[in-house]
Chain A
């Protein structure tokens, strides 16, 4: 029934094997550490003994040297992993900073009216109507009847009642790469919404009849991983219940397919499929992390309708599940104030966006004071925010990231308190990528499960899911998706891939920060030798990029060293270059500006999309300049309004006062310098 296109890695070893015991014990001989020939043997002739000793020594030599080789690769893999995590973490920090920025703006009367208008526009994007008016507006905008299915459409057809056959048909269609018609997407989403509206904030799950329930972590649009899970664990059904713990969309390229399959599963088996909202089930994040782009790309003129409906559906997703009264499942985690009785009473649908809920920050007021929000409202917001955004930490205590976004970092003492308060035995959460696909912490009271394998790059991590079985400890199953080849990747290939991507990432960051770096290098290299010490290079790079990585270990792959061990710092930029397609030659000042724009590409894009209400990819020249300048204030980078306009003009985008920001952003690319014939990066 399933296509042969993917290969399942059945049950790779779960944990590293324990230390092996030596078959032929090596005698302890501290005087001769080099000698591997001292081996114990039993009653053999002298000659046989010698031969046997030699043989054994040979075996051990080969084993030892191979282990060393393998270890060197492990280190490289581990280092690459550190790079990814650091970059991802830095990216998320940026996202949070962006929204803190908007809230700050709304909080004080902005001296610069320009800033306030930008913020207002972005926050006004979410719906501000309430109740019945909202229902009517939503139905009008997103009714499937508006869209006709053309006779030329070859994909699957869905009609009510939606059943198991539709589910299976969709699986096959999506595996073949087919796109479901917008009409049917709306149909399914409306059905889903109808069911979600009747669900409580916290799903009550019982394994009494089914004896087990499977918890799936972040999928992030990975259809391949979902297919592996269904293959290994069986399709969802009334006998095979599932809890999907959020972050179904964003980052991956098949977010909508994954979301639709899970939706249909829930529609067909509403009593045994459960959904928890993740922090990425939020239109504000979809702006930046890919889901919105995916929808626009796949559904073009229907995108706005779909996005509007998704926005609303997210708000109806339950925020957690409780299994058998003692296992709490939520996407992010908990905090010191987590209280189920309070959570149960919240009207969750108010939180269209969890990160920046518009009913708390009214978009119509330009002079908004955060001090005006009642305290219990703020606390209520925190309850939900913390569930979806928090991360565990190793030391005691709870550090909130203020009310402006991001949840908490909670410690083992908080776990003990909250678990005891509610009489829970275990907290299952997701939200963080783990190498093995899962991770226990806080004395095994917190279990992280992450189901998107190869999340950073091919070979970076396994995925996992958890089977919760009545009266038994949870069973964890790992897997890896290998989409493209039938051959499983060896350790060597895996490391090469993972490392290659990571290094490329870093080289890009160098080129984008070239001016800053060169300035700092020059300060240290007063004698203009072109060289600086390893320590100085590591220091500067770490500071300018704001990435704290094992630079010493990495440097051999990033720069050239001299025979005396000093670093030829120009070689930091020998592979990648930021190219800007301009019709006018660039000056030094403009190069800096271009680099600054590229560095902030993600943030810029996010804000542009927020302003572009009809998803046309186009905003006015004035809005465009306002955004760049406002973001600059916040970021500490100088975006001079005039400079920006000049730049935009020279990229030949200023037609009729509108700017195609897709074109604008595309004008900036990182290219491989070594490649003379190809302009593509």
Chain B
């Protein structure tokens, strides 16, 4: 990009006219490139045949691996923006990059702060016990909202419960498990 500059940050171009460097635009461009690289890497993990497509079923995993926290409903929206009617089962890299770049730029689907998640548990804890039981979880998480299937529920319970015998989840400790950050 920029080669030699003088004190004002101006760059002589080929015909020796001088144009000013735009540091803001350059850093935006760099940030853009970094975003694209990050997105492409995440995409490639699921691009089995190296043909720049991933199966639609994997979109949720890919987006979440980038640290975003969309609901299932929001995922559906994103999916419909990206998918191609002629080929509904797979998503092409180009469309993925276009849509996701905007999402990252706008910092959407960042999710709630830890305190709000704790509050969510407290709302469900109608008796104010400080814990929730497996049965309560099953009633809420498998039947309401965007219900878990059995596999998800089992995986949830293995990390939620304090220990195997008492079927209780002291959610204050548990919240930290949910908010784990992947270092980039």
Contact A22 B140 (CB under 8 A): no
CA distance A640 to B119 in the complex (A): 70
The number of residues on chain A lying at the interface, defined by a beta carbon within 8 Å of a beta carbon of chain B, is 44
Per-position binary interface string of chain B over residues 164-184, scored 1 when its CB falls under 8 Å from any chain A CB and 0 otherwise? 000000000000011110111
B93 at interface by CB-CB < 8 Å: no
> Nearest-CB distance from B41 to chain A (Å)?
5
A492 at interface by CB-CB < 8 Å: yes
> Nearest-CB distance from A345 to chain B (Å)?
37
CA distance A61 to B146 in the complex (A): 10
Contact B65 A75 (CB under 8 A): yes
> Nearest-CB distance from A490 to chain B (Å)?
4
A66 at interface by CB-CB < 8 Å: yes
Given contacts A58-B121, A64-B71, A66-B178, contact A75 B45 (CB under 8 A): yes
With CB as the reference atom, state the residue of chain A lying closest to B106: A33
A79 partner residues in chain B, CB cutoff 8 A = 45
Given contacts A23-B146, A75-B61, contact A70 B116 (CB under 8 A): no
Contact B120 A71 (CB under 8 A): no
A234 partner residues in chain B, CB cutoff 8 A = none
Contact A22 B72 (CB under 8 A): yes
A67 at interface by CB-CB < 8 Å: yes
Given contacts A65-B179, A66-B152, A75-B65, contact A19 B72 (CB under 8 A): yes
Interface positions of A from 30 to 58, Cβ below 8 Å from B: 33, 36, 54-58
CA distance A63 to B142 in the complex (A): 9
Contact B145 A24 (CB under 8 A): yes
Binds A, one of B5-13, B20-28, B154-162: B154-162
Given contacts A62-B117, A65-B69, contact A552 B61 (CB under 8 A): no
B85 at interface by CB-CB < 8 Å: no
A61 partner residues in chain B, CB cutoff 8 A = 112, 116-117, 120
A20 at interface by CB-CB < 8 Å: yes
B57 at interface by CB-CB < 8 Å: yes
Per-position binary interface string of chain A over residues 69-105, scored 1 when its CB falls under 8 Å from any chain B CB and 0 otherwise? 1111011001100100000000000000000000000
> Nearest-CB distance from A86 to chain B (Å)?
12
Contact B123 A33 (CB under 8 A): no
B36 at interface by CB-CB < 8 Å: no
Candidates A17, A62, A70, A78; contact of B120 at CB < 8 Å: A62
CA distance A67 to B60 in the complex (A): 9
Contact A63 B145 (CB under 8 A): yes
CA distance A67 to B153 in the complex (A): 10
A17 partner residues in chain B, CB cutoff 8 A = 149, 151
Interface positions of A from 593 to 643, Cβ below 8 Å from B: none
Contact A20 B155 (CB under 8 A): no
Contact A78 B45 (CB under 8 A): yes
Instruction: Find the residue from B49, B64, B76 having the highest chain A CB count within 10 A.
Output: B64
Given contacts A20-B146, A22-B73, A23-B144, contact A58 B61 (CB under 8 A): no
B131 at interface by CB-CB < 8 Å: no
A553 at interface by CB-CB < 8 Å: yes
Interface positions of B from 69 to 122, Cβ below 8 Å from A: 69-74, 76, 108-109, 111-112, 116-117, 119-121
Contact B109 A59 (CB under 8 A): no
Given contacts A78-B45, A492-B158, contact A24 B144 (CB under 8 A): yes
Contact B41 A550 (CB under 8 A): yes
Contact B149 A82 (CB under 8 A): no
Contact A67 B152 (CB under 8 A): yes
The number of residues on chain B lying at the interface, defined by a beta carbon within 8 Å of a beta carbon of chain A, is 59
CA distance A65 to B114 in the complex (A): 10
A374 at interface by CB-CB < 8 Å: no
Contact B117 A23 (CB under 8 A): no
CA distance A287 to B120 in the complex (A): 60
With CB as the reference atom, state the residue of chain A lying closest to B55: A16
With CB as the reference atom, state the residue of chain A lying closest to B38: A552
CA distance A17 to B74 in the complex (A): 18
Contact B149 A20 (CB under 8 A): yes
Contact B121 A33 (CB under 8 A): no
With CB as the reference atom, state the residue of chain A lying closest to B60: A71
Contact A23 B147 (CB under 8 A): yes
Contact A72 B146 (CB under 8 A): no
Interface positions of B from 28 to 80, Cβ below 8 Å from A: 37-38, 41-42, 44-46, 49, 51, 57, 60-65, 68-74, 76
Contact B71 A20 (CB under 8 A): no
A587 at interface by CB-CB < 8 Å: no
CA distance A300 to B140 in the complex (A): 62
B18 partner residues in chain A, CB cutoff 8 A = none
Contact B145 A23 (CB under 8 A): yes
B76 partner residues in chain A, CB cutoff 8 A = 19
CA distance A13 to B153 in the complex (A): 13
> Nearest-CB distance from B165 to chain A (Å)?
13
Contact B146 A33 (CB under 8 A): no
B124 partner residues in chain A, CB cutoff 8 A = 55, 58-59, 62
With CB as the reference atom, state the residue of chain A lying closest to B114: A65
A373 at interface by CB-CB < 8 Å: no
Instruction: Find the residue from B51, B108, B117 having the highest chain A CB count within 10 A.
Output: B117
Instruction: Find the residue from A63, A78, A79 having the highest chain B CB count within 10 A.
Output: A63
> Nearest-CB distance from A536 to chain B (Å)?
14
Contact A59 B64 (CB under 8 A): no
B37 partner residues in chain A, CB cutoff 8 A = 552
A491 at interface by CB-CB < 8 Å: yes
A394 at interface by CB-CB < 8 Å: yes
Candidates A56, A75, A550; contact of B145 at CB < 8 Å: A56
Instruction: Find the residue from B42, B45, B116 having the highest chain A CB count within 10 A.
Output: B45
Contact B177 A69 (CB under 8 A): yes
- 28 A-B residue pairs with CB within 8 Å: A13-B151, A19-B72, A24-B144, A26-B73, A33-B108, A55-B123, A56-B145, A58-B119, A58-B123, A60-B71, A60-B146, A62-B121, A63-B146, A63-B148, A64-B146, A66-B178, A67-B60, A68-B64, A68-B69, A69-B180, A70-B155, A71-B64, A75-B61, A75-B62, A82-B45, A394-B51, A492-B155, A553-B42
3 A-B pairs with the lowest CB-CB distances in the bound complex, closest first: A71-B64, A59-B145, A58-B120
Known contacts A33-B109, A66-B152, A550-B45; 9 further A-B pairs (Cβ under 8 A): A19-B76, A25-B73, A33-B74, A61-B117, A61-B120, A65-B112, A66-B148, A75-B42, A394-B49
